[in-house]
Structure 1
Amino acid sequence: MLAAVSVLMLGALLSSTATASAAPARPEAPEPVRIDLVLDLSGSMNDNDAGGQTRLAAAKQAVTRIIETAPEQAPLGLRVYGATYPGQDKKQGCTDTQQVLPVTAMDAAARADAKNRVEGFTAVGFTPIGHALREAAKDLGTSGARRIVLVSDGDDTCAPPPPCEVARELKSQGIDLAVDVVGFRTPSSARTQLRCIADATGGSYADAEDADSLTANLGTLFRKAWRTYHASGKPVEGSLNGCQDAPLVTPGQYLDEFTGGRDLYYKVKKRPDQRLQVSATAVAEEGYSRGAIITVAAGPAGNGKPSTWLREFSQSMGWANVISTGGRSKPGAGNETPAPDDTGCIVVENGITKSGDKPMPVELLVGIADATTQGAGARTPAPRTGADAEGGFSFNSATPIGPGSHRQSIAVGEAPFWRVEVKAGQKLTVTAGVDTPADFPSSTPSGWAVTVYNSQRESTQCNDDQRSAELFTGRTGHFERVCGPWDITDQGDAKSSDSKGYDVPGTYYIQAQVAEPDPRAKGVVVPISLKVDVSGTPRAGNSPVFFFGDDTAQGPSPSGANGSAEQRGTGGTTASAKDDDSAVGRLALPAGAGAGILLLGGIAFYMLRRRRAT
């Protein structure tokens, strides 16, 4: 997965017990990467060969799109070269570069100012790429992760300094800086030079021939710099010593971390008439080792690890940087053995990290369904199309799409997420394709991987061949994976055709990526296609609607036949834990506890896997 710095933002810690005692301070998350966009405004940008408009007009369109879609917390600056001196004096023309927008967070005022400045750009001068790169490095300061995104349509006309030597010079200084480059209608000689800049700094290179491809490829490079998987939630510190001293969690999403191979424990309240959903997602900076396992289980608190209400696990093949699993308890039959005060325990078992490993973020999503949540109504986000349908980079920021076809470009190393709503009685089929160029570097395990997660955030088997990816094995061209169709019913439904339980209604998530790419392929921009088909008529019934917290501004929306499991957003705190006097706390009044055990068998080879305990 990508090595770009996450924009994970941690706030104040959640109270770690029902008595709201303060938890110890946690380490602060790294700051978001600082980016300087360097734009070529040399005279050749006036050529009218960019799909019916000038290169300058196409560049304005692409840069404006970046400004409009930049996250508010993303520090972004803008530098141009060749913009002010129209004469022939090379000495003067080769110093013609200006910082037109300081590196600053893209709030509403900065966004409006930047768009106005872009609208006034003219292209008149020389092409001092090397000099502009040096100045851009100064724009970004001397600390933290920094990135330059360069757009150029030709060779440097001012060397010395040669641009590639400048790139090597910056890298040799030990600066945490990479340069991504888009070559816009560049001749072969310029393409070689621009690729060298990207390669020397560990950046990415992409070609563009018209406004659409420039917008798409430039957007891809910015997403690569801004976002990998964006872990989020209300910070909480689970117990490492079992259920007795674990913090109480109520419906919502929380953020914890695995350390030293230790499991995490939390208390939870659930009446016998309520259903509990628990999902856990671990996020690594790099891929997991093969066979890494995460398990989530819940049940009445007692000796050992709880598992009476639910138990799930997923096993990773090692090429993804996220592993997720989850489950739902069955409806109570009314004769379960009660738990004291309806208090149960959740455990997230750590089969990933070992003693001495770097702490790893873990998201915990907790939901409750009962008669009171059934009428909560849906807060399903409107599907997006076109450029707005570019994938997000977490479950929470997954882009909502509807049935139909979608196209975009991704950088190899990205693993974007989309979400689609499905209801009991419907069928879901996902078809995803990628086009690799003739010179695409690949190795034996490289392939096109598509993972579909159900509304419990557990990965589903893509199709009957039980493979997680369509392997390239040295081939190039078009590769396609078809996942499904799945009949969406509900767990325990007599009409269910899926004994493994993949078919619960709610929000399904689609993740696509080039799996285990050759290191030389990292950052290569490739076009992808995504087709979603939802057929069938929604069936009336009482499928559960889960409540995931009362933060209506950012919190997850209801899940089930009429709702979705998650929020639409870019992360941040998604829910807050409440004490027993809150509306959420009152969902679990003393009346006994218990539910059926979820059943799921089998582990499929060449796929992300999961299992329910019998």
Structure 2
Amino acid sequence: MQHTRPPLRPRRPQARAVLPVLLAGALLAPAAAAAGAAPAAARAEEPARIDLVLDLSGSMNQNDAGGQTRLAAAKQAVSRIIDTAPAEARLGLRVYGATYPGRDKKQGCADTQQVLPVATMDRAARAEARNRVAGFKAVGFTPIGVSLREAAKDLGADGERRIVLVSDGEDTCAPPPPCDVARELKGQGVDLAVDVVGFRTPSAARAQLKCIAEVTGGSYADAEDGDSLTANLGTLFRKEWRTYHATGTPVEGSHVDCASAPLVAPGQYLDRFTGGRDLYYRVKKRPDQQLQVSATAVAEEGYARGSLITVSAGPAGDGEPRAWLREFEQSMGWANIISAGGRSKPGAGGGTPAPDDTGCIMVHNGVTKDGDKPMPVELLVGIADKTTRTAGARVPEPRTGADAEGGFSFNSATPIGPGTHRQSITVGEAPFWRVELKAGQKLTVRAGVDIPGDFPGSAATGWSLDVYNPQRRRALCNADHDSTELLAGRTGHVERVCGPREITEQDSDGYDAPGTYYIQAQVAEPDAKAKGIVVPISLTVDVSGTPRPDTGPVFHFGDEAARGPMPAPSPSTGRATGHQADDDTGGTALLARLAPALGIGAGVLLLGGIALYALRRRNAS
């Protein structure tokens, strides 16, 4: 399906249809500290507690899982979950069929044990978990229903809870039938869902396991060998660990004017929209410097049609500051995030002196009104001059294979190079990757998805591919101006292609700045029946052309961005491992560790809406 470009403005207007994908991340507590306070990350709500329930019945000893036993494949898959879980993940482990090898049904059907309590994954917890998994044996019955009841107890009675069940067959201990147990748990009114991986399961067992997932609002995936078990199990866990969290150093912008606003230095800040009030900040910028400002509003629910966010900056005292930069974005349908950002121009256009070199940033709130809940707003501020260019920029090493699984925001986007990368995602996810590009190079991205024949799609089902430039601006994908291809009931292999697009020094559909480009792929499907279905995807990146010397600006986003090593995010989550995992939610340290000083925007997970047209209109005047 093609969408024509509407005649909005003479300066490169764009319109694209984007379908809804992804659950919005948890909203944060209100920010209270001033910008001058010590950097402190604003925390999200606690993540869901997850209990992994693993089948260790005798059938797991069969040697039909891609050259190894099912048990060996399960150990491999669970070990990867343990190794890649972020430190703040609250994870427990229960097994069944692991201790009683006899034939007494009463004893065999009581054979379920919690081997690891639900707890955060610190170093000691990981070590203990690895030791337990290494010693697993598969000997007994398959008491799925009983184990689900006990797993619900493991998770406690409050907060969001999930059970992830891995089984290779039917319950051999019913009653209670496991699907009845699932209904019982759901009927208790608690926030509990069960995700299920059927491991080489026959059709009767598959129906039973799918029922467990469906009645609790969970997801189901099949696995035929060790690799697919590892991938699909990891995909289900990522749903809890890769949602978007607004982050930054807490700040309270003025609702009145710039004279009463806090002074912000380069870095990332977290504020909030309240009522219909705009936000003001003061910022230092010499005439020889360039300024980058980006703002992102994160909604708990979709925006109303026509919601608008505007970012502008310039000398204070002239009403709406706009002499340095002005950028805005409008929602024509609904969206969970609206993001706008821009850079001042070098020379006269962006070098207008301000009194005492202090200017004003204004973030216009065309989103919330009186009576609405406060809405988190991320503010990113960067400066470029000769000193930032001299300092240079660090680029993370590209990753390959399983380590190249996409992250779920700009912050956690996975660095990759040219080549083909494969993984599985669930409907409702939109992974991000990042590619480093230089002036003169050309980027081509091809993304493919395999839609199963029984996929419960609707008229709005689509396969979406987007490219974002270093300014956190969506770049034009192709000449059709489409970012999403509606499938209209098609199944099988579907591909989208962006490019080839050359990185130039002129404004060329968003490809005018060397640096980090972001790639996002997603299956867009609003129907709840499809959410959580696992589909394999492939991403092929080609970088061609001869690089030219880079003479453009290098932006600095805080002191930390210019010093210290950049940690390697964990393979499956894209987050820093060990003690660095907490930094994933922290202010300028976040920018320093996860974005080189190349004008990269802070993390924003862009969510679409049914027939959403995002209209980005630039106006530097």
Instruction: Classify the TM-score, shorter chain.
Output: 0.7 to 0.9
Q: Which segment is superposed worse, 471-480 or 93-102? A: 471-480
**What secondary structure is seen at the aligned counterpart in 2 of 1:489?**
coil
Structure 1 residues 405 and 505, CA gap change in structure 2 (3 angstroms): same
Give 2:3's aligned residue: none
**Residue 46 of structure 2, aligned match among 25, 31, 49:** 31
What is the aligned partner in structure 2 of residue 15 from structure 1? 34
State the partner residue of 2:404. Answer: 389
What is the 5 A alignment of 1:294-333?
Answer: 294-316=309-331, 318=333, 321-333=336-348
> Cα deviations across residues 61-101 of structure 1 (Å, max 9, x unaligned)?
00001001000110110000000000000001001001111
Amino acid at match of 1:609: L
Unpaired runs of 5+ in structure 2? Answer: 1-20, 567-573, 591-610
Conserved? CA contact 2:24–2:336, under 8 Å: no
Q: Which residue of 2 aligns with 1:608?
A: 614
Contact 2:42-2:248 at 8 Å conserved across structures: no
Give the match for residue 563 of structure 1. none
Return the letter of the residue paired with 2:615: R
- Could you tell me which amino acid in structure 2 is paired with residue 514 of structure 1? V
Residue 528 of structure 2 aligns with which residue?
Answer: 519
Distance change in 2, residues 1:384/1:553 (3 Å): farther
Q: Is the counterpart of residue 483 in structure 1 residue 469 in structure 2?
A: no
CA–CA separation in structure 2 for the residues paired with 1:397 and 1:502: 22
Q: Which residue identity does 1:311 align to in structure 2? A: R
- The total of aligned residue pairs comes to 567
Aligned counterpart in structure 2 of residue 549 of structure 1, from 552, 555, 558: 558
Give 2:292's aligned residue.
Answer: 277
Hey, what's the Cα distance between the residues in 2 that align with 1:184 and 1:312? 50
Distance 2:512 2:247 in 1: 26
Contact between 2:324 and 2:350, CA under 8 Å: does it hold in 1?
no
Indicate which of 308, 322, 338 corresponds to 1:293: 308
Counterpart mapping for 1:403-552 below 5 A: 403-490=418-505, 496=506, 498-552=507-561
The alpha-carbon deviation at position 26 of structure 1 amounts to 12
Cα distance 1:188–1:432, how it changes in 2: closer, same or farther (>3 A)? same
Provide the residue aligned with 2:586 in structure 1: 573
Kept after mapping to 1: 8 A contact 2:463/2:522: yes
Against the structure 1 CA distance between its residues 357 and 28, is the aligned structure 2 distance closer, same or farther, given a 3 Å change threshold? farther
Task: Return closer, same or farther for 1:383/1:13 CA change in 2, 3 Å cut-off.
Answer: farther
* 1:120 positional shift: 0.5
> CA 1:290–1:206 in structure 2 vs 1: closer, same or farther (change >3 Å)?
farther
Question: Which residue is equivalent to 1:493?
Answer: none
CA distance in 1: counterparts of 2:260 and 2:411, whole angstroms:
29
**Mapped contact 1:5–1:33 kept (Cα < 8 A):** no
* Cα separation, 1, equivalents of 2:369 and 2:563: 34
Q: Do the aligned partners of 1:81 and 1:132 also contact (CA within 8 Å) in 2?
A: yes
Change (3 A) 1:306 1:84: same
Q: 1:257 aligns with which of 238, 256, 272?
A: 272
1:130 corresponds to which residue? 145
What displacement does 1:350 show?
Answer: 2.4
Write out per-residue CA displacement over residues 406-434 of structure 1, whole angstroms, 9 at most, x where no aligned residue.
11111101111111111112111211121
DSSP-derived class of the 1:100 partner: strand
Counterpart of 1:124, as a letter, is V
Secondary structure at the counterpart of residue 297 of structure 2 = strand
Change beyond 3 A, Cα 1:316–1:390: farther
Identity of aligned residues (%): 75
- CA shift for structure 1 position 348: 1.8
**Contact in 2 for aligned 1:11/1:234 (Cα 8 Å):** no
Which of 198, 215, 237 lines up with 1:183 in the alignment? 198
In the alignment, is residue 69 of structure 1 matched against residue 98 of structure 2?
Answer: no
Contact 1:4 1:226 in 2 (8 A): no
Contact 2:34/2:250, CA 8 A, preserved across alignment = no
Cα pair 2:55 2:96 within 8 Å, conserved: yes
Which has the higher mean CA deviation after the structures are superposed, 179-188 or 531-540? Answer: 531-540
| Cα distance in 2 for residues equivalent to 1:553 and 1:370 | 13
Q: How many Å separate the matches in 2 of 1:450 and 1:287?
A: 21
Partners in 2 of 1:513 and 1:317 — Cα distance?
Answer: 20
SS of 1:575's equivalent in the other structure is helix
Q: Separation in 1 of the partners of 2:208 and 2:521?
A: 31
- Give the aligned residue type for 1:608: A
- 1:591 maps to which residue? none
Using the alignment, how far apart are the partners of 2:327 and 2:291 within structure 1? 13
In structure 2, the residue matched to 1:267 is 282
1:144 paired with 2:159, answer yes
Partners in 1 of 2:187 and 2:257 — Cα distance? 49
- The aligned counterpart of 1:209 is 224
**Distance apart, 1:499 and its partner CA:** 4.5
> Structure 2 vs 1, CA of residues 377 and 27 (structure 1 numbering), >3 Å: closer, same or farther?
closer
Distance in 2 between residues matched to 1:337 and 1:459, nearest whole Å:
28
1:336/1:47 Cα in 2 relative to 1: closer, same or farther (>3 Å)?
closer
170, 179, 183: which one aligns with 2:185 = 170
Residue segments in structure 1 that go unaligned for 5+ positions in a row:
491-495, 558-566, 578-604
Residue 14 of structure 1: how far off its partner (Å): 3.9
Closer, same or farther in 2 for the Cα pair 1:158/1:318, shift >3 Å?
A: farther
> Match for residue 246 of structure 1?
261
* Contact 2:476/2:509, CA 8 A, preserved across alignment: no
SS at match of 1:381: coil
Partner letter of residue 232 of structure 1? T
Q: What is the rounded CA distance, in whole Å, between the counterparts of 2:432 and 2:565 in structure 1?
A: 16
Q: Secondary structure at the match of 1:266?
A: strand
TM-score w.r.t. the length of structure 1 is 0.87
2:249 corresponds to 1:234: yes
The Cα of 1:464 is off from its aligned counterpart by: 1.1
3-state DSSP of counterpart to 1:265: strand
Q: Which amino acid aligns with 1:15?
A: A
